[in-house]
Amino acid sequence: MKNILDVFRFHTADISQNSLNEVLQTNQESQKYGLVLTDAEARGLVETRNQVISGHGRVELGIEPVKKIIRTFCNSPYIYPSEYAITMSELIEIFYYMKNETGDRIGDDELIGIMYEYFNGSCRGSLELLKDREMALFVRQFRRDLQGNREGDGI
């Protein structure tokens, strides 16, 4: 019997056809903006998701955040068809990085919304600026506020 306490089974499982289909279904919406994922790219995104989750020491229940990121970002004027898959891959990485950095205190939808605002706003589509400047500043401010709230609560 495999270790019954092995919570990693959530994300080390083989890429199921269901997960792939779910990712490919996002093409229905993204193709309105000229963005389409091939089978291989969809598989690559699921693989990236698995690696990122594992690398960040996280457990993920499903493929939902990946779909949400694709659906949210596909209307961005800064994403080009030739860089669509790689951009999504980077955004997935930033998303889980931020989940850790904010100590899981921000919900998935809210975090994706924040990333979207910065990406289309001050970053003008730059993933480097998004991760290394805006998100880094955001985390710093977030922690400061958190500390302030704790001190206010006398913790």
Partner 1 sequence: MKHNISPDQPGRIPRERLDPYHYTISLIQEATRSGRMDQAAAEEIQVQLMDLLAELILRYNGGESTSLKTETAQRILLSILYSVDAGMRSLDDPEEGLSRLKTGKVKEVYKLGLDLIASCLEQTRQMYEEIVNNKLDIPNIAYHSTLNSLPDFFKHYDMIFSAHDTMADIDYPLLFDDMKIEGIFYIHQYLQKLAFETAFCRLFRLTDVKKLLSNYGRVYRINYREALINVFEIVLTNSIFAVLSDGRADVLRLSRVQYMQVKNQFARVDPVQCRRTIDQALLDLAAGLGIHQTEWRDYICKFTSVFLPRLLSALDNDCLDHVMILDEDMKTHVDIVLGEGKRMDDEKFRSLVDHILACPDREEKAAIIAANTHSACDFIDVLEADCLFGDEYAALFSILGEMELSMLARIVFADEIRTAPGKFSLAQEME
Q: Which residues bind partner 1 (CB under 8 A)?
A: 1-2, 4-5, 7-10, 53, 57-62, 64-65, 96, 99-100, 104, 107-110
**How is residue 42 written in tokens?**
């969809």
Give me the helix-helix angle, 84-101 and 108-120, nearest 10°. 120
Nearest Cα to 137, choosing from 108, 101, 112, 87?
Answer: 101
Amino acid identity, residue 98? Answer: M
Amino acid identity of residue 92, one-letter, is I
From the list 88, 147, 129, 142, the residue with the least C-alpha distance to 112 is 88
> Given the complex with partner 1, which of 49 and 131 has the nearer CB atom?
49
Q: Give me the least distance between CB of 145 and partner 1, in Å please.
A: 18
Residue closer to partner 1, measured from CB, 113 or 148? 113
The smaller minimum CB distance to partner 1, of residues 31 and 100, is found at 100
**Closer of 2 and 151 to partner 1 (Cβ):** 2
Three-state DSSP at 7 gives coil
Closest CA to 19 of 75, 80, 67, 72: 67
Cα separation of 97 and 111, whole Å? 11
> Could you tell me the smallest distance in angstroms from the CB atom of residue 144 to partner 1?
22
Closest to partner 1 by CB, 34 or 62: 62
Q: How far is CA 110 from the centre of its chain?
A: 12
